[in-house]
């Protein structure tokens, strides 16, 4: 939309017009309907009320969705503003509003008024608003596909003066009346994966991150539902902001009872200025809807995530960190790699400590060349040895960070956030490089490219061990530019080295979100490798992220964080439904545990064809100390049942595990899978009706033990 169009229609004095692409629009003078990917959206414009959402849900329910009028309330505005997309304060609307901006020359605030609503295609529309006096316009594009709605806001300054953007929602979404409960997640380092479900009767419920990174409390999003929604039934709506920086997600119920949900990146004061002619785009927000409970949402999120990520083979990992920490040299690593190969490992990943001068976590970040004392001929001999053992080679890096004790910092202290403060606060003894500075990104690209160009490194474990504080350079805020710089650097590396896989690790479970997801192939779900904690962490994350994207490693026992001990079988079965890995010293294992671990790796390889891109379900169990879950193949003809017992049962007789939602009339042959290349025992034949009504008796009986069963459809 050009400035001439804004000046004609942006003062709000004219009623917005509706454009469309087929005859149905002529029948809906001030309403619009789009559909795609199994969902539909209906909107209506009301004088003074903006663009009001009348339906968002399964496509089958859209045709007869009623549109209730918004009444004039006592002591309220004569023209009720109502909750709407592109809602703006100034008309008696009590919500946060879509955007806040001011003209920098005189402080005049923006007042965006509806201009037009246009259907671009059967599954896509754009909402336009403008403030003609400032020359500011805002477009919100909504696109329905693959079971979800995608939206973002684009701002343009067509005026003669700079405009300071204070805040702008990617989407401000009115909620349906049934959205009476909100589910949020919370957590801390090595304690991720907790969820809280609460009633949403008044005020607002929100989640926020102000430290420049999505964090240990999970991806930036929330779920709303009605009071009766369960995993398998009921109405639910989920929102995810595709952004890896500071954010605010909030659900708010207004004084009149209307509710809305907003998702936005947080911008620091002065960070976003639109000069004349500038355009600005918010991150994308994703909205998933389900009439089949939380499992329905899970399926939508998983489908979308798999569309974003390049399919890879998910080889068994060995990571050196908890085996060696900083104590290694070339010879000891080659020996460790040989032990990993004997277990059945397919990828060997060298963690922290390989680069120049790195002996602890206080030094050398930024100096990305191999340490000459440990690797006199560089990494090439180690890489060749690992390849000679039949494994891929991966390498740990932390490119966004710099140590004060490093050649890079001594040469370029101005490249660190916090400059010029010599006492800028550190985290894990390190500072953050300013990725909003193109010189910094160019340097990092070349440093990483120098490692990758010779070949042999097929995997980068990309770590980020601290948040942004202060997120400034020379006194100016840089948090937004930092995220965009990170994305640009990752995109550039993927373009240059398309076969290299990248794992996102941020002190474990930080920075797991749909913004960074298209740029990585794997997440490190948590630094906690405690098997019992990992059940909770991985299940919580699986509400959004497919399990094959989560690194799930067998760690030492006792666990180095919790001190708890678990049998090797239990640790391995917890990892089987994720991206299986090993993070311990094989030389410290007993012969029985070493053989068991090798058997579990072979077991993972057997179920990997089902687990990768499979449909994950957590089953309801009568016994709270039993965790039962299934992974079903893409074609639906086989599934794997995993049963884990975390504590003693109240009763000696164990209740059966019900397996619902199988095709009617189907029959299955079941075998119990045992650790090893082809170890199994027959477990009988069952109808889908019997499994759903009577259940299956697969309880492992003893605490911290588990069993794995493979069901193949025979009828």
Which candidate in 231, 371, 463, 530 is catalytic?
Answer: 463
Beta carbons of 258 and 167 less than 8 angstroms apart: no
Q: Is 352 a catalytic residue?
A: no
d(CA 34, CA 290): 17
> Cα dist. 263→99, 141, 181, 487 in Å?
11, 15, 17, 20
Beta carbons of 265 and 240 less than 8 angstroms apart: no
d(CA 38, CA 148): 8
Which candidate in 371, 527, 530, 533 is catalytic?
Answer: 527
d(CA 565, CA 258): 51
Beta carbons of 28 and 45 less than 8 angstroms apart: no
**CA atoms within a 13 Å half-sphere pointing along the CA-CB vector of 450:** 10
DSSP character string of 541-587: HTTTS-GGGEEEEE--SS-TTT-----HHHHHHHHHTSEEEE-S-GG
Three-state secondary-structure class, residue 54: strand
The crossing angle, in degrees rounded to 10, of helices 591-611 and 330-343 is: 70
Q: Is 463 a catalytic residue?
A: yes
Alpha carbon of residue 644 to chain centroid: 26
d(CA 178, CA 688): 33
Six-digit token string for 469? 């504080």
CA neighbor of 11 nearest in space, from 114, 91, 95:
114
d(CA 47, CA 118): 17
Six-digit token string for 680? 């199994």
Beta carbons of 299 and 559 less than 8 angstroms apart: no
Catalytic residues: 463, 527
């Amino acid at each position: 939309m050009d400035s001439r169009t804004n000046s004609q229609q942006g003062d709000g004095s004219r009623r917005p017009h509706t454009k469309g692409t087929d005859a149905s629009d002529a029948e809906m003078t001030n309403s619009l309907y789009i559909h795609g990917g199994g969902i539909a959206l209906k909107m209506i414009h009301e004088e003074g009320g903006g663009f009001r959402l009348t339906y968002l849900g399964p496509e089958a329910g859209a045709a007869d969705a009623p549109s209730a009028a918004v009444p004039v309330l006592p002591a309220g505005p004569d023209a009720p503003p109502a909750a709407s997309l592109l809602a703006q304060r100034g008309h008696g609307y009590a919500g946060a509003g879509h955007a806040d901006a001011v003209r920098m020359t005189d402080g005049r605030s923006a007042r965006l008024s509806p201009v037009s609503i246009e259907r671009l295609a059967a599954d896509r529309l754009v909402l336009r608003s403008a403030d003609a006096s400032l020359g500011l316009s805002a477009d919100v594009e909504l696109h329905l596909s693959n079971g979800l709605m995608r939206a973002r806001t684009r701002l343009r300054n067509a005026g003669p003066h700079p405009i300071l953007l204070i805040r702008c929602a990617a989407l401000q979404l009115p909620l349906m009346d049934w959205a009476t409960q909100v589910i949020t997640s919370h957590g801390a380092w090595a304690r991720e994966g907790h969820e809280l479900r609460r009633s949403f009767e008044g005020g607002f419920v929100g989640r926020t991150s102000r430290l420049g990174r999505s964090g240990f409390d999970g991806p930036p999003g929330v779920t709303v539902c009605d009071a009766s929604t369960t995993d398998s039934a009921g109405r639910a709506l989920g929102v995810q902001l595709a952004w890896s920086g500071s954010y605010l997600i909030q659900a708010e119920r207004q004084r009149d009872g209307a509710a809305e949900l907003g998702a936005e990146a947080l911008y620091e004061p002065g960070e976003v200025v639109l000069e004349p002619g500038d355009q600005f785009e918010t991150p994308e927000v994703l909205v998933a809807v389900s009439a089949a409970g939380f499992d329905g949402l899970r399926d939508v999120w998983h489908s979308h995530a798999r569309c974003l990520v390049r399919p890879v083979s998910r080889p068994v990992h060995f990571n050196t960190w908890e085996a060696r920490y900083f104590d290694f040299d070339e010879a000891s690593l080659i020996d460790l790699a040989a032990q990993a190969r004997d277990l059945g490992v397919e990828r060997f990943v060298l963690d922290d400590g390989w680069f120049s001068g790195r002996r602890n976590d206080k030094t050398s970040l930024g100096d990305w060349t191999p340490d000459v004392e440990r690797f006199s001929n560089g990494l090439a001999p180690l890489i060749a040895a690992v390849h000679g053992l039949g494994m891929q080679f991966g390498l740990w890096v932390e490119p966004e960070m710099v140590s004060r004790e490093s050649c890079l910092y001594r040469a370029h202290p101005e490249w660190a956030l916090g400059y010029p403060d010599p006492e800028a606060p550190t985290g894990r003894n390190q500072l953050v490089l300013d990725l909003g500075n193109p010189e910094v990104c160019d340097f990092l690209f070349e440093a990483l490219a120098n490692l990758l160009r010779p070949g042999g490194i097929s995997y980068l474990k990309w770590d980020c061990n601290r948040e942004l504080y202060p997120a400034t350079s020379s006194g100016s805020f840089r948090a937004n530019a930092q995220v965009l710089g990170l994305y640009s650097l990752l995109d550039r590396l993927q373009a240059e080295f398309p076969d290299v896989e990248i794992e996102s690790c941020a002190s474990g479970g930080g920075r797991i979100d749909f913004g960074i997801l298209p740029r990585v192939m794997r997440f490190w779900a948590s630094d906690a490798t405690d098997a019992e904690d990992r059940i909770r962490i991985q299940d919580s994350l699986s509400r959004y992220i497919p399990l094959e994207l989560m690194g799930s490693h067998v760690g030492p026992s006792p666990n180095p964080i919790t001190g708890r001990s678990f049998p090797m079988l239990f640790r391995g079965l917890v990892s089987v439904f994720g991206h299986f890995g090993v993070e311990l010293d094989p030389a410290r294992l007993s012969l029985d545990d070493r053989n068991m671990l090798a058997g579990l790796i072979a077991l993972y390889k057997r179920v990997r064809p089902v687990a990768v891109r499979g449909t994950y379900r957590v089953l309801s169990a009568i016994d709270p100390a039993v965790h039962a879950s299934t992974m079903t193949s893409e074609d639906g003809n086989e599934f794997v049942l995993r049963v884990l017992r975390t504590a003693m049962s109240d009763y000696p007789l164990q209740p059966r595990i019900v397996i619902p939602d199988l095709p009617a009339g189907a029959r299955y042959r079941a075998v119990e899978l045992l650790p090893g290349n082809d170890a199994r025992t027959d477990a009988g034949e069952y109808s889908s009706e019997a499994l759903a009504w009577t259940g299956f008796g697969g309880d492992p009986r003893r605490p911290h033990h588990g069993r794995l069963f493979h069901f193949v459809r025979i009828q």
